[in-house]
A = this chain, B = another copy of it.
Amino acid sequence: MTEHLNIEQMAQKLASADHYLIVCHKNPDGDTIGCAGALYHALTALGKTAAVICADPIPARYAYTGIKLYDGSYQPETVVSVDIASLQLFGERNDVPQLTRHVDLCIDHHAGNGGFADFTLLDASAAAAAEVMTDLIEALGVQLTPQMADCLYTGLSTDTGCFKFPSTTARTHAVAARLIEAGADVQRLNKLLFETRSPQRMEIERMALNSLEYHFDGRCAVICLDRDQIADSGVEPADLEDLTGLPLTIAGVQVGLTLRQQPGGSCRISVRTVAGMDACAIARRLGGGGHNRAAGCELEGNLDNAKAAILAEVEAELTAMDEAAAAAAEQEEA
């Protein structure tokens, strides 16, 4: 059982030790990296020893965060995880399992946090862990430097799709305002984080658009990529994952499908839906699962067969939706 702390209590805990190891989650994103960077700089500003560990490499684009990776040169006394919801997300590489056998402190914003640390600061209303971290650093009595502000802005903006996602609140914007006042170089960061795509990403997007098909009067859009196209494009997995959002951005589309042939030949299908349309129900009928508006499944057989199978389920769901709407309208009239 973890003990839940508020901002001030967690700040007191952080002030009370000297040698820290900060843990990012595997496949690190802007929020876990930004929080680790800001906390690293804040702890060293207080004269403490700190370094960061992550089971996967920190992507080169985040070099400006100035994170120091743990090199074994001191004995960590306190392990603190940032933006990590469960032990499974710690990962297996870079001595993470050995060094994080015991987790002292956890700073997070995921509602489903597993409570794996001795003490947890959890604010599930925060759009990013960086929102919590900003308050925490101020509670530590550390003046936000431009570099800390860059780190925190990275977490805040990447976890909200640059203030576009539904998780964005008034507080998210208020924190952004404080970070800009503290010197965050938002012009450079926005260009780097949101307006830079690799040539490989452009190439896979080209292929995806060439495969784009509309079905059921434009209510369903489908993109299809075979394994050779994916390999030839040289695209990173994260960019490929990102593409699954594309079909649903088209006006009028209620179900967006992305089919990707896997190296072994099976076909991975991502289902994205608008509000009121159950993506998980569609995926579940083909043995998959997921969330209400983002789900997936994996089918054996070639891309054409997989497409036919998923389109049949989408049609059934659209018909059910229309019938329910018609029944509701009839009831209202009666």
Report the nearest B residue to A248, measured CB to CB: B195
Q: At the interface, yes or no: A209 with Cβ under 8 Å from chain B?
A: yes
Chain B residues, Cβ within 8 Å of A163: 162-163, 176, 190
Q: Which of B165, B169, B251 contacts A196 (CB 8 A)?
A: B251
Q: At the interface, yes or no: A154 with Cβ under 8 Å from chain B?
A: no
Q: At the interface, yes or no: A317 with Cβ under 8 Å from chain B?
A: no
Q: Which of B176, B197, B209, B252 contacts A173 (CB 8 A)?
A: B176
Decide if B199 touches A251 in the complex (CB within 8 Å).
yes
In A183-233, the 8 Å CB interface with B consists of 186-187, 190, 194-199, 202, 205-206, 209-210, 212, 214, 218
Decide if A202 touches B250 in the complex (CB within 8 Å).
yes
Give the CA-CA distance A205 to B181 in the complex, in Å.
37
Chain B residues, Cβ within 8 Å of A68: none
Give the CA-CA distance A213 to B301 in the complex, in Å.
35
Chain B residues, Cβ within 8 Å of A195: 164, 249
Q: Which of A162, A202, A210 has the most chain B CB within a 10 Å cutoff? A: A202
Decide if A180 touches B169 in the complex (CB within 8 Å).
yes
Q: Which of A163, A176, A206 has the most chain B CB within a 10 Å cutoff? A: A163
Report the nearest B residue to A176, measured CB to CB: B173
Nearest CB of B to A250, in Å: 6
Decide if A250 touches B199 in the complex (CB within 8 Å).
yes
Decide if B174 touches A251 in the complex (CB within 8 Å).
no
Question: Interface on chain A toward B: helix, strand, loop, or mixed SS?
Answer: helix
Decide if A249 touches B209 in the complex (CB within 8 Å).
no
Q: At the interface, yes or no: A237 with Cβ under 8 Å from chain B?
A: no
Given A162-B164, A173-B180, A190-B164, A250 and B197 contact (CB-CB distance below 8 Å): yes
Decide if B166 touches A187 in the complex (CB within 8 Å).
yes
Q: At the interface, yes or no: A168 with Cβ under 8 Å from chain B?
A: yes
Chain B residues, Cβ within 8 Å of A181: 170
Report the nearest B residue to A202, measured CB to CB: B250
Chain B residues, Cβ within 8 Å of A212: 202, 206
Nearest CB of B to A134, in Å: 13
Give the CA-CA distance A171 to B181 in the complex, in Å.
9
Chain B residues, Cβ within 8 Å of A162: 162-164
Report the nearest B residue to A189, measured CB to CB: B164
Q: At the interface, yes or no: A177 with Cβ under 8 Å from chain B?
A: yes
Q: At the interface, yes or no: A284 with Cβ under 8 Å from chain B?
A: no
Decide if B180 touches A199 in the complex (CB within 8 Å).
no
Decide if A249 touches B180 in the complex (CB within 8 Å).
no
Q: At the interface, yes or no: A178 with Cβ under 8 Å from chain B?
A: yes
Give the CA-CA distance A252 to B198 in the complex, in Å.
8
Given contacts A170-B177, A202-B212, 12 further A-B contacts (CB under 8 A): A162-B164, A163-B163, A163-B176, A164-B195, A168-B180, A168-B190, A173-B174, A196-B251, A199-B214, A199-B250, A205-B209, A206-B206
Across the A-B interface, give the 4 residue pairs with the lowest CB-CB distance, nearest first.
A206-B209, A173-B177, A170-B180, A173-B176
A-B contact pairs, 13 of them (CB 8 A): A162-B163, A162-B164, A164-B195, A168-B180, A170-B180, A173-B174, A177-B177, A197-B249, A197-B250, A198-B250, A199-B218, A199-B251, A199-B252
